[in-house]
Structure 1
Amino acid sequence: HNHMPLSADQVSALCKIGFYATHALRNANLYMNAYRASITDDLTALYNRKHAFEMIDELCLSGTPCSLIMLDIDDFKLYNELYGSKEGDHLIQRCAKIILSALDEDDMAFRFGVDEFLILRRGSDAAAAKAFTQSLVEVLTKGSMPDMVWEITITCGISVFPDISADGRELIHNVEQAVYFGKLDGKGHLIVYRKGLENRSQNPDIRTAYERVAPTIYALTAAIDAKDNFTFIHSMNVSKYAVMLAEALPMSDNDIEVVRVAGMLHDIGKISIPEHILKKTEGLTPEEYAIMKTHVENSIKMIRYLPNMDYVIPAVIAHHERYDGKGYPRGLKGTGIPLMGRILTIADCFDAMTARRPYKQERSIDYAAGELKKNSGTQFDPELVPVFLSLIEDGKIAG
């Protein structure tokens, strides 16, 4: 208006235009925010599972060659049980941050499941996708972590379109199959999907898995027994008492089997303890006791190498925890201690009291029952102790 003053009607018109424009822009902004929220994972700020399907379909329908990478954190359920869900969230967030920093300009990353990530890349060069994934996993698994019983491992799968997978649905299916069969081979494997991969054998249940590694377990236990003659029979007794308590609760058949195997394996780490400490007939010095306590984490490290035995780890690592939080190795308290670990604690201590050792006479069942009752709520779970005592009173547990 060449700096000419505006009339009242012109000012009013401009105000109305501004008013309606403001509402239009605000609504557009609200829509964009809502849309972003609908395609974004709250915890990681990565794109979510829903958007993964959309973008994969879009690329495949357009005929754009692409590679799909899935990263699955091994034993994440166990990680949550051992360290808590808050620490589990921190691990997921850390992984997401590293993944984002590794992406090329056209790459997209998604949180596909609780412990699964997808990366969608342009181009169907499987070798290039494999090199990228190996480099990424090295960063993910070698970064700073809290004190852990074992190092994080990640099983990865890769599938490509259109060379192997015919469409988006098949691309996702094939990358999931690659991860599945990678886990059958153990942990930390990277599998590039190929035709015929599904013809491999299926994963055994825990009973079958135990039967397959039983000779190894017995050999290890025998090796310990050569150093400490009481370990083998003690492990057998702990397994027996723990199963009886688990059955009385009651627990599922699979959980009972886990308890049984955990009882057999709970002291397997004693193979690393010097013989003079294992056979010492008087009290241990503080230094010797500190060495003795390492058998728990040593047990875990050994179990990690037994195929399909990982799910006994929460019980084994917790069998020296106390209900009042004064146990080891992590000082867990109350129901924060895995249930199977609380079961093993009672079975372990009962057998330790009622069995003969070079450094002590065996105690009577009545004495052991009294100690369990006296320490209920401090050392032992106050809800499990009465169940175990009832088994003694019924004559089912006779020492």
Structure 2
Amino acid sequence: MSNTRMPVGIVGFGVRALLIDDLLARDDIEVRAICDPSDSARARASDQVPSALVTAQLAEMLESGVEAVFVLSPDDTHAAVAKACLSAGVAVFCEKPIAISIEDADEMLVLAKQTGARLYLGHNMRHMPVVTLMREIIQSGRIGTVKAVWARHFVGHGGDYYFKDWHAEQKHVNSLLLQKGAHDIDVIHWLAGGYSQRVSGMGGLTVYGDVEHGKPAGDMMTDWISTDNWPPTEQTGVNPNVDVEDISMVTMQLDNGVFATYEQCHYTPDYWRNYTVIGTKGRLENVGDGPGDAVHVWMSRKAGFGAPDEVIEIPEASGSHGGADPLLLDEFIRFVRDGGTTETSPIAARQAVAVGVLGAESIRTDQGARDVPALDPELIRYFDEGQPGSRSGVAAQSAR
């Protein structure tokens, strides 16, 4: 790796820019420019990173010599911002979801291939210890060939995190099956070893449509989050324009024969993810999803409920999101400088969005099944091979 610090830009200095702490702690990154249309966000950026160019204009950021851009803005802006960066030959780290429509996601993939600018997706859960442990158990063959994956997400902070600001509006997120569920759907696909080809869903706005609406105290979720906000029916300051579901259930049929379900509820008392993976020789299930919790593995028959044959503790890891974020940044920086394959995948990100989009469409109409549109095999090959024709931002800019 080069000894020079990589000059990067950040688009969006809201709650997702908490990743800035990890960026500023690195000696191989220079945060050169920050772009946000909000006056208050630019003021925070100037205070936190006084050495950076702070601007409301994306073009000004792209002219500052950044080698890569972190797209951390609201979901509905991801496609436009990323496409502008890719067109300028700048490498892109795009926060999930890749986009809020299948069409925009596909256009991003095509543009990345056409320009040769490197595209990376921030699906940090592929680096979370609980997920990597489950994947290692599956790959060891202990539970046989995967046939089913069931995932439940208990979003205990949902009322504070997703129903008081732009996250609560379809025009900004389409559905929380994308904003929140893209992580889990991607994990389902990764653990199952395939992608969904048919999707159906049910769900609704069952609690937060009936609570007190108004303006929350503060500018973003970190200002108003409180575990004292309980029960969910007593939440205040909910977005008056809330039109996303607070409970969603999706079924998926994968291209390798695996069947899967994903369930998401935003008003549970607890906040964690539970995955059950069933194979031809056994099953696994995580009990808790953080360090010190465990993955249970059953590989022998039981009469009724029986103790697992193995209990494997989820390892400790340093850094945010269970240690995933530093590993994610390590991988992205290496990818921008050297290329090569990565654990995260733009193709997988598109496929997760496709499930979210079609699942939401099913929920809001007839609850019937939808087929996932196929991608060009050449496009899949390009990304699966690590974007072999891609260039780093500096190389792409010098080639123009």
**Where on the TM-score scale, by shorter chain, does this alignment land: which range?**
under 0.3
Larger Rg: 1
Choose between structure 1 and 2: higher strand proportion: 2
> What TM-score do the two structures reach when normalised by structure 1?
0.24
> What TM-score do the two structures reach when normalised by structure 2?
0.24
Q: Which has the higher contact order (CA 8 A, sep 6+)?
A: 2
